[in-house]
Amino acid sequence: MIRVLVFYQEVRKLVVKESKLFNQELEQFVSSIRAGREREIARAITLLEDQDPLSSKIMQLLYQNYSKGYLIGITGPAGSGKSSLLNLLVKEYLKKTEEKIAVIAVDPTAQQSGGAFLGDRIRMKELYANKQIFIRSMASRESLGGVNAAVYDTAVILAAAGYQKVIIETVGVGQTEIDIVSLTDTTIVVTVPETGDEIQIYKSQLIEIGDIFILNKSDLPQAAKMELLLKSLFALEKSDSLFQKRSAALEWEKPLLKTSALNNQGIAAVVEAINEHFNYLQKNNILAENKNKQLKKHLLNLLLSRVTQKFSKKFKEEAKLEDYLAKILVGEAAPFQLIEEFVDNNLTN
């Protein structure tokens, strides 16, 4: 399949600039979101991504009756088949439920334009006509905190629109992606036999945050070795948990499921595992705890995003970059010293 590159800027040229809310009053626009109108939902998310001042007013109204859907995160290394699995997973859900399901796909960002590779929207194109499904791709933009904040508020918009399940898929397993899935209730980690011992590189955080593990492409000959490695890591984590005296009653037994997206195998077992984890969370009142934890993390992400933007803007406007570079090159100062000085001066002003 030819990978098609679509940039958000080109899409936004098609939007009528004179009417950001489609000629509606703000309250009417928010009511349309709550009624599940896809046009208004999509517009609200775009305003949120663009950090348009209108988005803060929209979110203020939505947070007045704040509800949170069940958030499911899917992460794993590039090439592990996350998008194909997600497509099959949504189709499996459609066989068994009438719930509305939303998908947020955090895609790679083009460095110059800031647009995203919308691979998931291409793979899931056959689902667009289904009114139970809403699919949205978001550019990662390589930002610190910004994409995390946008993802969470997008989930709030979708929950307000009546989507009971919101599935968030990340582009890979970097720190940004791990931060994103840490905002979810259930985290699915997808790996494949080809990753081999590379899982050692990122095992600590993934093993810790993962609730359900999937060994995709399990029909490949190297699958047995990867299965053994993952089970060994689970055993190590469990022994650490016992050593730290965590409550055994609240311990979730993390399943390792084998799938083949190519052959459409093992998908029903994944849906069953997600439902079991949801029931576990509900039974132990963890969903309510998660809401508080997620909101705290969301506030920190917003703070990080806003502070980073304002400091970066001020740094560039004052032409500090060239001055600092000159001082470093002639040996007058070290980078950390100059940045520390800049931050201290601006925090006190």
Question: Is 50 exceeded by the pLDDT of residue 11?
Answer: no
pLDDT band per the 50, 70, 90 thresholds, residue 199 = low
State which H helix or E strand residue 146 sits in.
Answer: helix 146-160
Which pTM does this prediction carry? 0.83
Q: Please state, in angstroms and as integers, the Cα–Cα distance from residue 181 to each residue in 168, 198, 266, following that order.
A: 7, 20, 23
Q: Any idea what DSSP says for residue 51?
A: T
- How much of the chain, in percent, has pLDDT values that exceed 70? 79
pLDDT, residue 192, reads 85
Higher pLDDT, residue 2 or 328:
328
Residue 136 near residue 150 (C-beta atoms within 8 A): no
CA atoms within 13 A on the CB side of 82: 27
Arithmetic mean of pLDDT over the chain: 81
Q: Which range is least confidently modeled, 62-66, 202-206, 215-219, 285-289?
A: 202-206
Residue 56 near residue 78 (C-beta atoms within 8 A): no
pLDDT, residue 201, reads 46
Interatomic CA distance for residues 347 and 97, integer angstroms = 52
Q: Any idea what DSSP says for residue 139?
A: E
pLDDT band per the 50, 70, 90 thresholds, residue 101 = very high
Question: Is 80 exceeded by the pLDDT of residue 14?
Answer: no
pLDDT band per the 50, 70, 90 thresholds, residue 121 = low
pLDDT band per the 50, 70, 90 thresholds, residue 108 = low
Interatomic CA distance for residues 94 and 271, integer angstroms = 11
Highest-confidence segment of 47-56, 111-120, 166-175, 227-236: 47-56
- Largest alpha-carbon pair distance within the chain? 68
pLDDT, residue 109, reads 53
Interatomic CA distance for residues 14 and 10, integer angstroms = 7
Higher pLDDT, residue 181 or 29:
29
The domain limits of the chain are 67-284, 303-348
The fold for domain 67-284 equals Rossmann fold (3.40.50)
How do residues 266-278 score in pLDDT, each as one tens digit?
Answer: 999 999 999 999 9
Question: Is 90 exceeded by the pLDDT of residue 18?
Answer: no
pLDDT, residue 248, reads 44
Closest CA to 274 of 231, 210, 217, 224: 210
Higher pLDDT, residue 116 or 22:
22
Residue 152 near residue 301 (C-beta atoms within 8 A): yes
Question: Is 90 exceeded by the pLDDT of residue 281?
Answer: yes
Mean pLDDT of 195-206: 58
